[in-house]
Amino acid sequence: MKFAFYPGCVARGAGPELFDSAVAVMEKLGIEWVELTGASCTGAGVLQEKDQKLGDILNIRTLAMAEQLGLPVMTICSTCQGVMAQADRRIRRDADYLEEINGYLAEEGLSYSGNTTVKHLLWVLVEDIGVETLKKTFVKELSGVNLAPFYGCYIVRPSDALGFDENPERQTSLETVIEAVGGNVIDFPGKTACCGFPILLINQRNSLRMVANHTGTASELGADAMVTPCPLCHLNLDGYQPKARRQNKRGKADLPIIHLPQLLGLAMGIDSKTLGLGKHLVNTRDIVRKVDSISVAS
Amino acid sequence: MQAKLKVSRYDPETMGQGQQRWDEFELDVHPNATVLDALIQIREEVDGTLALRCACRASICGSCGMRVNGDAKLVCKSRIADVGEEGATIVVEPMGNQAVIKDLVVTLDTFFDKVRQVDPYLQPDSEPEQGEYVASDESMVNLLTAMNCIMCGACVSDCTVLEVDEAFIGPAALAKAWRFVEDPRDDQRDARLEELNDVEGGIWDCTRCFKCVEVCPKDVAPMDRIMEMRDMAIEAGNTNTSGYRHTESFNKSVKKHGRLDEARLAVESAGYTNVPRLIDLAEIGVKSVLKGKMPPIVPHKADEKEKITRIFEKVESERGS
C-alpha cells in the first residue's frame, strides 16, 4: 500500500510530533509513502475566502502531482483533507473549470484528469487496512482508557464533498479506531463542532470559549484524553487550553490532546519519545503512565 | 413501519427554564412518513400536550425547524427512513441557540432581532423614474441563493459561534445582509459592508465551520455568503481588522514560501502595534520552544516555491490587483 504523502504545513511546522508519530506508525502499518515536497499549502479555507479559484489551482496541482506518480494522496490533517476534497468536488462537477485550472498547470507539465483520491490516514485505517488487520499491529489493549473523539470540521463537512454516501463508515471512523485500540469512547456533541482555531487570531475570546467547552465537557464525562486527526484543532485545544480553562473556569485539570497517530503508536508499543508526547503544552504524563502500566500482550 | 422517537419535553408551568424531560414513543407509521408526521401522530393519538410548530408540511414555510439526531432540520422534509438506521431511536429536540417556549417550540425573537440588525430592506438614494426600480435578470439571478432562505432558523440553531457568543449576527442575518449588499438597486453597499466589518459579531467572527451550509434545507450556504462579504469589505477598503491582516499574511506566506508560516501569521494577524496580544503570543511561543515544537524562525518552504509564486502572480495579474 503506497501513498503520495501530504502531511500539511502544521505537521511540517508547529506540530512536528504529528509528522514523527505518523512516520513511525506508517512503518508499523506497512504503508509506503513518498512525500509531496513540492506541493503547496491547501489554503485551509483562508486563501479560498479571497480567491477560491487560486486555492483550487493550488490543490488540483497537488492532486496532479500525485496522479503523475500514480498514487492516491494521503493526509494527516482534517483541514487539508476537507479543502482538497472540496476542490476535487468542484472540478469533478465542471469539466470546463478543470480545463481552465489545467491551463495554469500546463507550464510546469502538470495536468489533472481526476484519477486519484485524497484520503486521510483515519479513512485509510478503516477502509484500506481494515479494523481486523489494524488490530494485529497493536501490542497493547488500552482497556479502561477513556478517549473523547474530536474530528475537526473539514473532515465532517460539507458532507457531499467527503464521500459519505459511498463510505458511510467515515462518519464514525474515529470512534471505530478508539474502539479498535480497546479504549472507551467518550461521546459528546462537541466532537464534530469547531475547535475555534480559525478565529484564534481574530476573536480569541470566542475561540477560547470553544476550547473550554469541548475540553471541559469531555473532562466532565470522564475522558482521560481527547484524540484528534486535525493538527489545527490540536494547536488550539492543546496550546490554548490552559488559558481557555482559566478564562472560562471550566474543568479541574487540563485534558491531554493526542494526535491520531500518537494513539495508534501507544497501542503499537512505540515509545512516547518517538511519538513526541513530550512536545504538547498540556502534559501527557498521566495518559502515558496509564498506557505504560498496561502490559504488552504476549 | 415501526418508528421509535425520543422527544425532548419542556413545560414552562411546571419546569424551570433550561430543564428538560425525555419521553419515548413507539408508533406504527407509513413507510414514507416524515418525522413531522410521526410527531403529529403522537400529538393526536398519544399525548395531546406535545407542543410543536408547523404549517405548510412541504418545506416552504420554515416553521418546523427542530434538531433530529443532533442536527437542525425541517422535520417535514426528513423522512423517518432517511434519518437513521432502521429501527434506531430518533432523537427530536428543539433547535439550539434559541430559548425554548414549550417542548419543541423555540422563540424566534432573537432570530428576527438579528435580521433587523442588518437593515433588511432596499435603501436606494433616489426615487425610481417610472414608479418602479428596474433590474436586469442577469443582475438578480445571483441573489437567488440567499433569496431562497425561508427563515427556518436551522443555521442559527447549529451555528458554533452563536453557541459561545450571542452578539454574533449569525448565518441567517448575514446571508440576508449579503442579499442587499449584492442587490443592484441598493445604494448603501459600502456603508453596509463597513458596518458588517466593524460591528461586534460581524463578518470576521465566523469560524468557517460549514455547519450552516450543512444544515440549511434550502442551499443558501450562509458561510459562503459571509466569505464573499469579507472579500468585498476588503475590496471596499476596510483594512482595519485582524481578520484582514490574517488573510493578507496567509496569502503572502503561501505566495512566497508555498507553505504557511505559522509564527509570522500569528504576529501579523495581531498587528505589530498590538502589544498585549504580542505578549500573549510570546508566552505561547516561549512555552512551545521549551517543548521543542516551535516552527523554525526561517519558515519551512515547499521545494517548488517558485512555481507556486508564479501561479499566484498569474492569478493576481488577471484579477488586476
Domains of chain B as residue ranges with CATH: 2-106 (3.10.20.30), 109-235 (1.10.1060.10), 242-319 (no CATH)
Residue in this structure with the C-alpha cell 475555534, named with its chain if needed: A196
For chain B, list the strands marked E by DSSP: 2-9, 21-28, 65-68, 71-74, 90-93, 100-102, 105-106
Give the integer Cα–Cα distance in Å for A2 and A80.
Answer: 19
Amino acid (1-letter code) at residue A93:
R
Q: Do B242 and A202 touch (CB under 8 A)?
A: yes
Q: What distance in Å separates residue A60's CA from the closest CA in chain B?
A: 12
pLDDT digits (tens, 9 = 90+) for B120-140: 999 999 888 888 888 899 999
Q: What is the mean pLDDT of chain A?
A: 96
pLDDT digits (tens, 9 = 90+) for B208-237: 999 999 999 999 999 999 999 999 999 999
pLDDT digits (tens, 9 = 90+) for B71-111: 999 999 999 999 988 889 999 999 999 999 999 999 999 99
CB nearest A206 (choices: B165, B230, B263):
B165
CB nearest A159 (choices: B214, B308, B315):
B214
CB nearest A201 (choices: B205, B270, B300):
B270
> Does any CB of chain B come closer than 8 Å to the CB of residue A75?
no
pTM score of the predicted model: 0.95
Model pLDDT, residue B130: 82
Give the integer Cα–Cα distance in Å for A129 and A169.
Answer: 13
Instruction: Look at residue A297 and tell me whether its pLDDT is greater than 90.
Output: no
Share of chain B above pLDDT 70, in %: 98
Q: Do A194 and B234 touch (CB under 8 A)?
A: no
What is the pLDDT confidence band of residue B260, given thresholds at 50, 70 and 90?
Answer: confident
| Residue B89 burial (C-beta neighbours within 10 Å; 0-12, 13-18, 19+) | middle
> Does any CB of chain B come closer than 8 Å to the CB of residue A114?
no
Q: Do B303 and A37 touch (CB under 8 A)?
A: yes
Q: Do A209 and B234 touch (CB under 8 A)?
A: no
* Domains of chain A (ranges, CATH numbers): 2-120 (1.20.1050.140), 131-292 (3.40.50.11810)
Q: Which of residues 209-268 of A touch B (CB under 8 A)?
A: 209-210, 213, 239-240
CA-based nearest residue to A4, from A112, A158, A160, A138: A112
Give the integer Cα–Cα distance in Å for B195 and B233.
Answer: 10
CB nearest B303 (choices: A38, A61, A107):
A38
Query: What residues in B contact A278, CB-CB < 8 Å?
Result: 291-292
Instruction: Look at residue B321 and tell me whether its pLDDT is greater than 70.
Output: no
Give the integer Cα–Cα distance in Å for A149 and A133.
Answer: 22
Q: What is the mean pLDDT of residues A217-231?
A: 97
